[in-house]
Structure 1
Amino acid sequence: MKSWTKSIEINAPIEHVWSFLNGSLEDMQKIMPQVVENTPIKVTEEGVGSVYRQKYKEGKRVMEYDVTTLEYKNTADHKRLKVGFNLGNMFDITAAYELKKLDRDRTSFTYTTTNDPLKWFVKLFLLFSSDKVVVEFVERVKKAAEENQPVVM
């Protein structure tokens, strides 16, 4: 299993950043443009155990998988969402998104992902993998949150 973690400071309120992770499909697509569908299959009151069927487009190919909520915390100063899914019977993947309020207009965002190969030959690919995708993701979240802030009057 391989794990990557990256943190970044975002110049936007915590609730606004959270809306990209825990909001509508339209908001989610601003940080995950390849997700073309996110349909609730089972929604629990506490969040943990909820399951969403996602469709992910890579080139012309669309992959479908179920995303299960493993952790869920939503307080005014601290938010955490951890999900897990199986990708093509090749990998078990987790993704954790953690937000901490620094002040009214600044949020700390930490993204951690793990990738557990399920086939021996896939393990070789992980040996050569870098954190490039993780770095690009946290930068995309920062850019989306800072550029799409609601106007306060």
Structure 2
Amino acid sequence: MIQWKEDITIAAHIDKVWELFSDQHIRRIMPKVEEHTLIEKNETEAGAKHRQTYREGKRAETYIVETLVYEDLQDKKRKKIRFVLGNAFEVTLSFTLHKLDPAHTQFIYEGQNLGVNFVGRAMLKLGSQKSNNQSVQDFLQRVEQEAMK
């Protein structure tokens, strides 16, 4: 299993950062997502489900993303999702925003990638922690860049 928890302070209002995690804007921060379609409930509630297609090079993978937590308060916002990728990995991601002041938001990105079968566990053991750390940092920077636009 791989786990991470990183944070960054973004010089933008909490609502501007939060809108990046909406269905309408999700591809701005996750450009490899080709499809993100609501199939159950409402996007602003726990229990919502989306069909998502992710492309890595020539390979596209489609899976169901379930929203586990959806919290939209004035000074704190949080979305936690889970999906199974390639029948090998269970991925859980959490995006938490804290309003520091009207012009600054703390963004906490945490998650875990769990191998659900022998192949998934073996691939995680063989994978590079450095590569995963770089992916996490890249995502934090992408969210910051998009929020600053």
TM-score (norm 2): 0.91
Aligned equivalents of 1:124, 1:45: Cα separation in 2: 34
Larger mean CA deviation between 45-54 and 62-71 belongs to 45-54
Equivalent of 1:73 in 57, 71, 74: 71
Paired residues, what number?
145
Equivalent of 2:139 in 129, 137, 140: 137
Larger mean CA deviation between 98-107 and 54-63 belongs to 54-63
Structural RMSD (CA)? 1.5
Q: Which residue of 1 aligns with 2:47?
A: 49
5 Å-filtered alignment, 1:16-27, equals: 16-24=16-24, 27=25
Give 1:121 shift: 3.6
Identity fraction in percent: 37
**1:103 matched to 2:101:** yes
Unaligned runs of 5+ in 2: none
Aligned equivalents of 1:59, 1:133: Cα separation in 2: 16
Tell me if the contact between 2:39 and 2:51 (Cα under 8 Å) persists in the aligned partners: yes
Larger mean CA deviation between 75-84 and 121-130 belongs to 121-130
1:77-128 CA distances to partner (integer Å, 9 max, x unpaired)?
A: 0000000000010000001000000010100000011101012243233234
Unaligned runs of 5+ in 1: 149-153
TM-score (norm 1): 0.89
Q: Which residue of 2 aligns with 1:8?
A: 8
Give 1:46 shift: 6.3
